[in-house]
Structure 1
Amino acid sequence: MSQRDTLVHLFAGGCGGTVGAILTCPLEVVKTRLQSSSITFYISSVHLSAVNGASVTRVAAPGPLHCLKLILEKEGPRSLFRGLGPNLVGVAPSRAIYFAAYSTSKERMNRLLEPDSTWVHMVSAGMAGFTAITATNPIWLIKTRLQLDARNRGERRMSALECIRRVYQTDGLRGFYRGMSASYAGISETVIHFVIYESIKRRVLETRAAARMDQDGDTTRDASDFVCMMLAAATSKTCATCIAYPHEVIRTRLREEGTKYRSFLQTVSMVVREEGCKALYRGLTTHLVRQIPNTAIMMATYELAVYLLER
């Protein structure tokens, strides 16, 4: 792939990620709060009777709408955009690195394996995910810390620079890479997503191209092609997210400030033991509501940018 092609995919990936991040930021904040072990927004308690007669309190998390309402009441609308700064700083390079690595890997894998096969898409998505995660994990850690920083109206909010300073003072450079093991586990979601997406995309474009050739011999893409790509992206992301979602909860727990969670497997074990298996899917509804349109917008923007730049 030429240098120009690489730059095209870098720019297109950055544009897609930025547009999606801005439009879906409030849902990202609600999702992160629901995934957290913090009881700041927990509103109901279930008292259980222990064997020795003592009472045990199990705190239950609110639903997405109630969490959204509490954020608006206690912190104000601005809190729904907490972490947007690091998100915008990170999403463009992250998606740019991801899509450039994906397209480069796919180009090389096509020479070694059957072109555009499932294995090509799986390996390419995996390599792209690993590259992007390793390069940008510190940015996402800061974003998560800011989103979890719940302050009442009028209270001074922690800035990104202050957050960076606190992470470094507490854990040193290693602190910026907390949760990376869970992110690596999340590569499985990316792989599943791109395998399904590429399969749907190829079939849709082949069908529509054949129909156009039968009609007037024109193979130029139109707006309906990009709508189809958005639907393909939404479908593939839904399937992948439902399968691999628990890594999202584990990653948020590992990134919490002063957390008792130390490693991926230890966190899984502790969450299941203390809160039950359902806790591994806390915030899934909000995540789907955010991720599906975000992915559809991102992929459609990416495809449109590539198409326009390569004309």
Structure 2
Amino acid sequence: MERQEQKLTWLSNLKAPMAGAFSGCVTRAITQPLDCSKVRLQLQVEPVANVVGAKYSGTIQTLLAIFRDEGVCGLWKGHIPAQLLSVFYGLGQFAAYDQLNTYGRHIKLLNEHSDTRHFICGGIAGAVGNTVSTPFDVIRTRIIAQDHGRGYTSMREGLRLIFVNEGVRGLFRGLGPSVLQVAPLTAIQFWAYNVVIETVLDYTKSDRATPHLILFAGAIGGIVSKTAVYPLDLCKKRLQIQKFQNSRTTYGEHFICKGLCDCLARTISREGYRGLFKGLLPSVIKSGIATALHFFMYEELLSILVRVQI
């Protein structure tokens, strides 16, 4: 009997990460073209405008250019590692958040201040999810960034070559700014989401969030959080393509830097402060849609799994 109860507890603890991973897969599939556009714009050193040497001049133009040059598949370039990124990030993030939030309720100070609890738990959960998924983020960035028909032919080959040529460090390029970014990003995301939900529920005197409210709160959380930490996201992408210049020669000047501070300084010096926000529009659109769908599907799937007697 005791062994069966332990099994039930173990399966029950898997419900949150299962819902998080599945919802991450679906939202990634839907928003991948916007992500591809964002990465191309982030890595472009030249101004995002119709000037000599600039390959991309805006979100719509970038999407059309990718479709013209690489076909429909180009819009979903790097999709397989991106899916694995979503799975591992979703598993790590929601599993950590669910456990931390549960433990936090037993701490008097955090139980009395739910906003603070959501912020802290969200930040730690984001850092955990990001760390375990970074190798897939590196390989999907490089696949999106490489010339058509050059570079890595598959995710497996890419991971192997990065490990052989650059070591473990290569698989975790950009981890520093990534963790610096994702902790406040996830914290703000969960905080904004819960603030919107709780504010509306208090105002309407309701006891349960509707699907429309979940979508709206998720979109607000995604847009606010992504905008707040965007320069770190841009630096992460630029750090992830270091030592990869031979496989991307048709996108203009290759950005070279030695670390986060150097990346920030060189970007500002070469492109101005506006350069830190290249690709912001497709990024916040994608983040708003993805976060809204992610939270909505997570809540719906989790409610279904909770009703399943396992």
Give the TM bin, normalised by the shorter chain.
Answer: 0.7 to 0.9
Matches within 5 A, 1:106-125: 106-112=101-107, 113-115=109-111, 117-125=114-122
SS in 1 for 2:110: coil
SS in 1 for 2:99: helix
Q: Could you tell me which residue of structure 1 aligns to residue 212 of structure 2?
A: 227
SS in 1 for 2:57: coil
Q: Could you tell me which residue of structure 2 aligns to residue 54 of structure 1?
A: none
1:16 to 23, 37, 45: 23
Structure 1 residue 285 corresponds to structure 2 residue 281: yes
Tell whether the 8 Å contact from 1:145 to 1:257 is kept in structure 2 after alignment: no
**1: distance between equivalents of 2:196 and 2:62?**
36
Quote how far apart the aligned CAs of 1:38 are: 6.0
Q: Could you tell me which residue of structure 2 aligns to residue 31 of structure 1?
A: 38
Quote how far apart the aligned CAs of 1:106 are: 0.9
Structure 1 residue 168 corresponds to structure 2 residue 158: no
1:247 to 232, 236, 240: 232
Quote how far apart the aligned CAs of 1:207 are: 5.1
RMSD of aligned Cα (Å): 2.4
1:104 is matched by which residue type in structure 2? Q
SS in 2 for 1:62: coil
Q: Could you tell me which residue of structure 2 aligns to residue 145 of structure 1?
A: 142
Quote how far apart the aligned CAs of 1:61 are: 4.7
Q: Could you tell me which residue of structure 1 aligns to residue 306 of structure 2?
A: 310
CA distance 1:162–1:67, shift in 2 (3 Å): same
**1: distance between equivalents of 2:103 and 2:152?**
47
**1: distance between equivalents of 2:292 and 2:274?**
27
Q: What is the identity percentage for the equivalent residue pairs of Structure 1 and Structure 2?
A: 24
1:9 is matched by which residue type in structure 2? A
Deviations 1:43-91, CA, capped at 9 Å, x for gaps: 623xxxxxxxxxxxx8585111111121112121111111111111221
Q: Could you tell me which residue of structure 1 aligns to residue 248 of structure 2?
A: none
Tell whether the 8 Å contact from 2:28 to 2:82 is kept in structure 1 after alignment: yes
SS in 2 for 1:75: helix
1:249 is matched by which residue type in structure 2? L
Quote how far apart the aligned CAs of 1:163 are: 1.6
Quote how far apart the aligned CAs of 1:109 are: 1.5
Q: Could you tell me which residue of structure 1 aligns to residue 199 of structure 2?
A: 203
TM-score, normalised on structure 1? 0.85
1:146 is matched by which residue type in structure 2? I
Tell whether the 8 Å contact from 2:222 to 2:290 is kept in structure 1 after alignment: no
2:179 to 177, 184, 188: 184
Quote how far apart the aligned CAs of 1:135 are: 1.1
Quote how far apart the aligned CAs of 1:166 are: 2.7
Deviations 1:171-192, CA, capped at 9 Å, x for gaps: 1111001010111111211111
SS in 2 for 1:114: helix
CA distance 1:159–1:199, shift in 2 (3 Å): same
**2: distance between equivalents of 1:84 and 1:43?**
29
